[in-house]
């Protein structure tokens, strides 16, 4: 066994508890847009000089964009808005379009950074609301469990605000 490489640890994101007012229309949650390397299963580390690397021996359980979409939908469900959600095959009144701007470990400052742009777009294609959500979490050690948990906490701070905002805008 001496020559065998160990498999990377896999980490997941959690949905958040949320409350929101029932919106007038139905909404669907699109797969977020993200530039590489955020549209992968890599846990990204931003080094000094904005150089990007990956957290060694750690990865997300799926592509980050798919995890964010899934946990956003679950948070809508947690807010009691299941009846307003539509699958991608149905025609919703509104679409929630997300863009992952930051979802990384800022190594020089030892902080997990999450920044997500959100737009609520009507079925006619008009942007009815837009907002940028940011959150950060301090990080003691830049290692798999600590880094993934800090990113999960930062994302968890955004989810309830995002769902309440999107439900009110829809």
Average pLDDT along the chain, 170 residues, taken 10 residues at a time: 64 85 79 95 95 94 97 91 72 92 97 98 92 97 91 97 89
C-alpha distance from residue 68 to each of 49, 64, 103, 110, 158 (Å): 27, 6, 10, 23, 11
Its domain, for residue 108, covers 18-169
Please indicate, yes or no, if residue 67 is contained in any of the structural domains.
yes
Residue 95 placed within a domain: yes
Query: Given this model, what pLDDT does residue 71 score?
Result: 96
CATH number for position 49: 3.40.50.10610
Within-domain flag for 56 = yes
Domain membership flag for residue 11: no
For residue 13, tell me if it sits in a domain.
no
Number of helices and strands in the chain (H, E): 2, 8
**Number of domains within the chain:** 1
- pLDDT given at position 1: 39
pLDDT of residue 35: 93
| In the chain, alpha helices (H) | 64-78, 144-169
pLDDT of residue 79: 87
The verdict on residue 92 lying in a domain is yes
Determine the pLDDT at residue 168.
Answer: 87
Q: HEC states along 28-85?
A: EECCCEECCCCCCCEEEEECHHHCEEEEEEEEECCCHHHHHHHHHHHHHHHCCCHHHE
**1 inside domain:** no
Q: Rounded distance, CA 11 to CA 42, Å?
A: 10
pTM metric for this prediction: 0.90
Length of the chain: 170
Q: Is residue 5 part of a domain?
A: no
């Amino acid at each position: 066994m001496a020559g065998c490489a160990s498999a990377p640890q896999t980490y997941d994101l959690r949905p958040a508890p949320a409350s929101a007012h029932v919106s007038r229309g139905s909404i669907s949650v699109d797969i977020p847009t993200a530039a590489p390397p955020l549209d992968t299963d890599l846990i990204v580390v931003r080094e000094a000089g904005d150089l990007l690397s990956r957290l060694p021996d750690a990865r997300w359980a799926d592509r980050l964009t798919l995890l964010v979409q899934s946990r956003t939908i679950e948070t809508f469900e947690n807010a009691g808005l299941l009846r307003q959600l539509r699958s991608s095959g149905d025609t919703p009144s509104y679409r929630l379009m997300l863009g992952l701007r930051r979802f990384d470990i800022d190594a020089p400052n030892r902080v997990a950074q999450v920044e997500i742009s959100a737009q609520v777009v009507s079925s006619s294609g008009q942007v009815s609301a837009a907002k940028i959500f940011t959150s950060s979490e301090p990080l003691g050690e830049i290692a798999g469990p600590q880094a993934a948990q800090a990113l999960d906490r930062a994302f968890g701070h955004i989810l309830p605000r995002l769902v309440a905002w999107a439900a009110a805008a829809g």
